[in-house]
Structure 1
Amino acid sequence: MINSSIQCIRLTQFSLTMALHNPLNILEISRVAPFPNSPESASDFSFPLTFYDTFWLNFPPVERLFFYQLTDSTLLHFNSVIIPKLKHSLSLALLHYLPLAGKLTWPPHATKPIVSYSSDDAVTVLVAESHADFNRLSNDDIIESPELRHLIPQLLTSDDKASSMALQITLFPNQGFCIGITTHHAIVDGSTAITFMKSWANLCTKLDKQDASLLPELTPPLIGW
């Protein structure tokens, strides 16, 4: 059973057109936090961006899509089995990648922007359903970006802070599902983002086992990357 590290706000289902010809049915918006009550749980921390990292401050976020074919993925199975497993393993993975659950801020007293994490931070996860053509969107053909826009989550931003990462999990009934990940370019490089996804997938396969530890090659360096 998913514990309090996942705060769920279930919405009345409604249709939202994110891009032409791609209606998206929003099922749920959740906040998934690093798994609590663990010896590895960290307290609040912050660290400044390096000089090289500040170069990416004004660049747009990095957006990636991962498609998983699953022809027996009904809405019931998706909501009752797949989503709980993905959320729980995400919570476990974030325990090793705490900056991804944090945010980027620039306090008045700081000379450079800082990445910070506090115990109330979490990753926003949007869960949705799409009736677009899964095979067309996931194949190797060149596709116009507006056709994929409805699968990509938006980072939460304000005048004084920006989230590190946002996730969207979209079901294509009886076809498969897609995980969209958006990361702030100043916080997460390509290598870290890919290693995080591999770590998430690795932990997801271990949920039914007693040992849910992360493989050494997938364990990131100390906080601060």
Structure 2
Amino acid sequence: MPVKPAGGHVGERHPQDQDAQDRHPLLVHAHIGIWGRCHLPSSSREACGLGTVDDSALSLTYLDLIWLHAGSVELVFFYPLAVSVSHFIDSVVPTLKSSLSTALRHFYPLAGKIRSSAASSDGYEIHYVDGDSVPFTVAEYSGDFDDLSSDHSRLFNDMLPLLPELPESSIDNNDIQILALQATLFPECGVVVGISVHHSACDGSISTRFLSVWASACAGAGVMVPPSV
């Protein structure tokens, strides 16, 4: 899948330790370095025989609207993986990106944005235009992987650098981004996948199905979209 660069490219390291400290002033135990950011298109034209999906809109229900101003749900997944930086960049990242693009073909509205409804003066909808994309960040973290992934209390601020931030947006400007993703390497220890998804656009069931499809594609098992409920 084509990748449109945004603010650098994978393989060229751009440390932003001070930026992380500025955004998270209590972060003193570890440092984050951002290698690059890109946008992965969903390419809905190729999705499941959909043909040409140039423009689509899904209306938000009353229960969705409850979460309209609640912001994002944030998740982190820890994967023990003793790989070097070069292996991560050359092998793991390309697999994550290609499988993510594959998964997004089946869940292309997640690449869209929340806006005021074009058909109703007081409604809202998820609007998708073919070619919309999801921001994907690649980073390195110097924290303790085993400590952060263990089942005990830990400093919340040490987790924050592992989570992608949804782009600044406003419902008044009709441009609320729905999904952002980040893959963070702990060299020779593991990889963390961080997810931020807007709650009004995606509930637990849908996000679980999306992650299952992404994981399946990443493992090379093919893509099976679970049936809708």
TM-score scaled by length of structure 1: 0.86
Take 2:198 and 2:50, find their aligned partners in 1: how far apart are those partners? 25
Counterpart residue number, 1:101? 111
From 167, 177, 180, the equivalent of 2:194 is: 180
Instruction: Please tell me whether the aligned partners of residues 40 and 95 of structure 1 are also in contact (alpha carbons under 8 angstroms).
Output: no
Which structure has greater helix proportion? 2
Q: Greater shift after overlay, 193-202 or 14-23?
A: 14-23
Counterpart residue number, 1:83? 93
70 and 144 in structure 1: CA distance in 2 versus 1, 3 angstrom threshold: same
Counterpart residue number, 2:15? 14
Instruction: Please tell me whether the aligned partners of residues 141 and 185 of structure 2 are also in contact (alpha carbons under 8 angstroms).
Output: yes
Take 1:99 and 1:16, find their aligned partners in 2: how far apart are those partners? 33
How far is 1:195 from its partner?
Answer: 1.6
Take 2:168 and 2:125, find their aligned partners in 1: how far apart are those partners? 15
SS of residue in 2 equivalent to 1:95: helix
Counterpart residue number, 2:212? 198
Please show how residues 1-225 of structure 1 align to structure 2 within 5 Å.
3-4=1-2, 6-9=3-6, 10=8, 13-17=14-18, 18=20, 19=24, 20-21=27-28, 22-35=30-43, 38=46, 39-40=49-50, 42-71=53-82, 73-106=83-116, 110-159=121-170, 160=173, 161-206=175-220, 212=222, 214-215=223-224, 218-219=225-226, 221=228
120 and 65 in structure 1: CA distance in 2 versus 1, 3 angstrom threshold: same
How far is 1:120 from its partner?
Answer: 2.7
Task: Give CA-to-partner distance per residue, 1:155-199, whole Å, 9 cap, x none.
Answer: 113231211100011000000110000000100111211221111
Structure 1: which amino acid aligns with 2:37?
I
SS of residue in 1 equivalent to 2:140: strand
How far is 1:145 from its partner?
Answer: 1.2
Structure 2: which amino acid aligns with 1:165?
L
Structure 1: which amino acid aligns with 2:107?
Y
How far is 1:36 from its partner?
Answer: 6.1
SS of residue in 1 equivalent to 2:17: strand
Give % identity.
31
SS of residue in 1 equivalent to 2:58: strand
How far is 1:7 from its partner?
Answer: 1.3
TM-score scaled by length of structure 2: 0.85
Take 1:124 and 1:33, find their aligned partners in 2: how far apart are those partners? 9
Take 2:121 and 2:211, find their aligned partners in 1: how far apart are those partners? 32
- Structure 2 unaligned regions, length at least 5: none
Take 2:227 and 2:196, find their aligned partners in 1: how far apart are those partners? 19
Instruction: Please tell me whether the aligned partners of residues 96 and 220 of structure 1 are also in contact (alpha carbons under 8 angstroms).
Output: no
Across the aligned residues of Structure 1 and Structure 2, the Cα RMSD in angstroms comes to: 1.9
SS of residue in 2 equivalent to 1:154: coil
How far is 1:35 from its partner?
Answer: 3.9
SS of residue in 2 equivalent to 1:89: helix
- Structure 1 unaligned regions, length at least 5: none
- The count of residues paired between Structure 1 and Structure 2 equals 211
Structure 1: which amino acid aligns with 2:94?
P
Runs (4 or more) in structure 1 with deviation over 4 Å come to none
